[in-house]
Chain A
């Protein structure tokens, strides 16, 4: 029997309208309802506008929606292929995490392309979230090597990539893995056995996935309760707390 968790800190959730489907999580209160039902206490939150609207419009909307809600930590979108890139109007201490969509936004996630945006964030130890299908394992490797102080978080990995993730984690100490779709058989315990629990982050991928799956996978993983607590929220809390102003 494992220690019971009443709360999680979710590394991967979004609210807002999507252009190609209705997920019913349009406003922050909708997100709260969904995450309450899953027992998620806090979350790193993105706005769906970040995928398809200009980064300035997306970040303005995110800031307005999250104002006065300390439960949510904003994850800003940055688009290094645009001027403005989305971060200019934010104060430095506001930015603890950003998300990149290289494929959707049509740029190569190479160091020469992203350096202007990411180098200052890397110096502060900020988090950079990248969906695996928005890049490639080689892109993630290059990003991690080019910015060793940046905490790179691979999102929505899928279940077929365990062996590749494992090699990436072995060669890139700054690579972190969000687990919402990392559904490999006994995958969490395998990664913990090989690399420890400190770089694994629970996520629900709300509203694009049903978050009960990854929460159950964490519950059933054959790991210690201490490691389970780190993955459930301790790691993300530590990472966000370590970002320098």
Chain B
């Protein structure tokens, strides 16, 4: 077993290797559809410390699934409570397009959030709808990053839908959450990432296997692949372990677990204070 494999199987922090782990896809809080224990900021940080996750990029579950204004406030409170441990995603729901620019401005300039999250599946609205345009425009103007949920076959957010959007907004880094999920979604995500240098793939998927992850790296290289865990939706140990215990080269595992995200955040969210 490699060193990082030994650590994750034995519940030891990856900080023991001097690795920096950054989770580009995390949430915060509780949820209506099922119980999430320890989903508050303190509960998350305590568990992040066990694994050696230095920083998690979070959007509150309230923001993506219920009330985005209230949810942005919750995200910001967690960022303030644990400086350096969380980077906050701002959310604005495209069902209220006239509110988007004002809310994202408030979130960035008053609340200290620095990147954007969209969840088209929860909103039931395809990313190709004009209602999203103020979000893309804000991100283009601020040179920031957008994480979107993506899933194979989903009419609202299958990976291929992002090809044209990413091409039109070259100042924005688009992170395809879950890399489209199952292997057929991965294939589409790879096509989009191959065509668009500003597209990144995030690997959280509850049924992810190490060969599936290794296939993504084989297809597009490791530089644009990012660790995401979906915590506290899902325990972060599952995805962290699949990267840390993969058969990828040590430098590839380090890059995916954190160094790629550090470069991305330094460039697209400099106000978050993460340095490559």
Give residues in A with beta carbon < 8 Å to B: 1-5, 39, 158-163, 166, 181, 183-187, 190, 209-210, 212-222
**Pair A162/B238 contact, Cβ less than 8 Å:** no
B232 nearest in chain A by CB position: A185
Closest 7 CB pairs of A and B: A219-B11, A216-B241, A163-B35, A185-B232, A213-B238, A2-B11, A210-B209
B11 cross-chain contacts in A, Cβ below 8 A: 1-2, 216, 218-221
Q: Does B198 contact A (CB under 8 A)?
A: no
Interface-side segment among B43-51, B70-78, B108-116: B43-51
Which residues of chain B are within 8 angstroms of A3 by Cβ–Cβ distance?
A: 10
B37 at the interface (CB under 8 A from A): yes
CB of A215 within 8 A of CB of B37, answer no
Assess the B37–A212 pair: CB atoms within 8 A: no
With A and B bound together, what is the CA distance between A53 and B39 in angstroms?
A: 43
**Which single member of A2, A39, A187, A217 contacts B37 (CB below 8 Å)?**
A187
State which residues 222-276 of B face A: CB under 8 Å. Answer: 231-242, 245
A–B Cβ pairs within 8 angstroms, 30 of them: A1-B10, A2-B10, A2-B11, A159-B206, A159-B233, A159-B235, A163-B35, A183-B206, A183-B234, A183-B238, A184-B37, A185-B39, A185-B44, A185-B47, A185-B231, A186-B43, A186-B235, A187-B235, A190-B38, A209-B209, A212-B210, A213-B241, A214-B238, A215-B9, A216-B237, A216-B240, A216-B245, A219-B10, A219-B11, A222-B46
> What residues of chain B have their CB less than 8 Å away from a CB belonging to chain A?
1, 5, 8-12, 33-39, 43-44, 46-47, 50-51, 206-210, 231-242, 245
> Provided the pairs A159-B235, A185-B231 are in contact, do residues A212 and B208 lie with their beta carbons within 8 angstroms?
no
8 Å CB contact of B36 from A39, A185, A213 = A185
> In whole Å, how far is A179's beta carbon from the nearest beta carbon of chain B?
11
Given contacts A181-B206, A185-B39, A210-B210, contact A220 B245 (CB under 8 A): no
**A25 to B188 CA separation, bound complex (whole angstroms):** 28
A-B contact count (CB 8 A): 111
- Chain B residues with Cβ under 8 A from A5's Cβ? 9-10
Residue among B8, B10, B233 facing the most chain A CB atoms (10 A cut-off):
B10
Contact of A184 with B36 in the complex, beta carbons under 8 Å: yes
B235 and A185: CB pair below 8 A?
yes
The interface centre, meaning the residue of A158, A159, A213 with most chain B CB atoms within 10 A of its CB, is A213
Q: How far is the CA of A217 from the CA of B9 in the complex (A)?
A: 8
Return the contact of A190 from the options B1, B37, B240 (Cβ within 8 A): B37
A216 touches B9 (CB 8 A): yes
* Shortest distance between the CB of A2 and any CB in chain B (Å): 4
A183 surroundings in chain B (CB, below 8 A):
206, 234-235, 238
Chain A residue at minimal CB-CB distance from B33: A160
Cα separation A194 to B269 with both chains bound (whole Å): 41
Give chain A residues whose Cβ lies under 8 Å from the Cβ of B8.
212, 216, 219-220
Contact of A212 (CB < 8 Å), options: B38, B44, B235, B241:
B241
Contact A185 B233 (CB under 8 A): yes
CB neighbours (8 Å) of A186 from chain B are 37-38, 43, 47, 232, 235
Asked whether, in the complex, the Cβ of A212 is within 8 Å of the Cβ of B35, the reply is no
- In whole Å, how far is B152's beta carbon from the nearest beta carbon of chain A? 15
For B36, the closest partner residue in chain A by CB is A185
Q: How far is the CB of A71 from chain B (nearest CB, A)?
A: 20
Interchain CA distance A221-B37 in the complex, whole Å:
13
Knowing A39-B9, A185-B231, say if A215 contacts B241 (CB, 8 Å).
yes
Query: Quick check: A217 and B12 within 8 Å, CB to CB?
Result: no
CB distance from B243 to the nearest CB of A (A): 10
The CA of A181 and the CA of B207, in the complex, are separated in Å by 9
Partner of A161 from B34, B43, B51, B239 at Cβ < 8 Å = B34
